[in-house]
Amino acid sequence: LVKDVKERFGYEAGLSLEQVAPLATFKPDDPEEFMVNP
């Protein structure tokens, strides 16, 4: 899971307190390919 999040969202937990976690927000126009094509 850590590898997938880093590859898809460019996020690593614990590197920045200001950076919002990738699955903590939602926008209606977010791509959904990672949910339907694992």
Q: Which residues of the chain have pLDDT under 50?
A: none
CA Rg value for the chain: 11
Amino acid at 19: Q
CA dihedral 20, 22, 27, 32 (to 10 degrees): 170
Q: Can you give the pLDDT at residue 37?
A: 61
Q: Can you give the pLDDT at residue 34?
A: 67
Type and span of the H or E element at 28: none
